[in-house]
Amino acid sequence: MIQDNTDPTSSEGTPVLVAVGEGLLEVGMRNDLPSGYLGRGFGGDVANVAVMAARMGTRARLLTRLGADTPGRLLLDFWRHAHLDVDRITVDPSAPTGMYVNAVRHGGHTFDYYRSGSAATRLSETDVDEHLLDGAGALHVSGISLAISGSAARAAERAAELARDSGVMVTFCVNHRPMLRPDTDRNLAFARAADIVILSSEDALAMLDTDRLDRIRAMLGEGPQEIVLTDGPAGAVVLSDGEIHRVAAPSVVVVDTAGAGDALAGAYLAGRLAGTAPPDALEPAVIAGALSCRWPGCARSYPSAEEVARVRAGASPDVEPQPFSSESA
């Protein structure tokens, strides 16, 4: 495992968000790059959530595996500069780091993934022990964590068992990805046992055959205390304590929507771990998701807490964004 003796954030003593899943190096293809050049980015849904939470001032720890290769080194460097706790990341010399191509085009983007047999798919229950949740306020897992391999799913489920035994909140982003052939029953069981469930309208339709919040609540049962339903540029809604709160997204000049849902989730969980009530946690989360669309790529496009606060206070969201990178951290 990687040992990093630096302070992961300046929020010593605050609850830790522990994320279990994969990280992926992003290769960007877009029109604003010179001919013959590719963009470098950083992705993986739970890793993105952890980065955004850290950007909002929350301590975040990532459990995953990386290959002993250049993509793995680039990811690890980025996560360290993003102030993630990387002590639970294992470098596996027998498997590569997963990658994906994000081809940004007018009106949207396409993803092509190269993760089969990656180091992250070899995540297993042996990577999970009682110290994973030291200082944790929440454990975060996604449907992708459950879908990349059977052993990764068992690792995530074992971590959730430990969290429940320890009184640690379990949060779940559905992130239904048909290309991974997810086990819908397994995902549904995990969602029903989670404390906070975050899903998009597309996720809800794919897993539950409905995007109506009342029906989603009925199908998930009484396990989740909070359900966050996102709807792209329309914003998001949270159901908590029987009350529904809606937040509209600010209008921004969209460059790339990749990773926007993860930004929303990371900012929302940061707010909840800080003790902010669900309606008040959702507002900056929706702003963070929107602001992330102003720049290409996933985690490197995420705004700072200061940028989110300025927009929340009434500043224009169309001020020239400052992309987050290891050089600017």
Tens of pLDDT, residue by residue over 241-287, are 999 999 999 999 888 898 999 999 999 999 999 999 999 999 999 99
pLDDT value at position 296?
85
pTM more than 0.75: yes
Q: How far apart are CA 207 and CA 209, in angstroms?
A: 6
Superfamily, domain 16-311 = Ribokinase (3.40.1190.20)
The verdict on whether 262 is a catalytic residue reads yes
pLDDT value at position 12?
62
Q: Which of 268, 273, 282 is nearest to 237 (CA)?
A: 282
Give the list of residues 6+ apart from residue 251 with CB closer than 8 angstroms, or none.
233, 290, 317
Joined tokens for residue 98 = 């997963």
Residues across the chain: 329
pLDDT value at position 9?
40
pLDDT value at position 235?
96
**Block means of pLDDT (10 residues each) for the chain, length 329 residues?**
42 85 92 79 96 98 98 97 97 96 76 93 96 97 97 98 98 94 95 98 96 96 97 95 96 90 98 97 98 91 95 82 54
pLDDT value at position 104?
78
pLDDT value at position 317?
84
Domain limits, the chain: 16-311
pLDDT value at position 161?
98
Q: How far apart are CA 265 and CA 197, in angstroms?
A: 10
Torsion-angle region of 323 (φ positive above 0: left; ψ -120 to 50: alpha; else: beta): beta
Structure-token match 């992130």, residue found: 175
Q: For the segment 19-47, what is each residue's pLDDT rounded down to a tens digit? A: 999 999 999 887 777 777 788 899 999 99
pLDDT value at position 320?
59
Pairing relationship of beta strands 236-240 and 89-92 according to DSSP bridges: unpaired
Q: Are 270 and 56 in contact (CB under 8 A)?
A: yes
Please pick, among 129, 262, 280, 318, the residue that the annotation labels catalytic.
262
Structure-token match 């639970």, residue found: 88
Q: For the segment 115-134, what is each residue's pLDDT rounded down to a tens digit? A: 999 999 999 999 999 899 99
Q: Which of 62, 44, 56, 238 is nearest to 136 (CA)?
A: 62
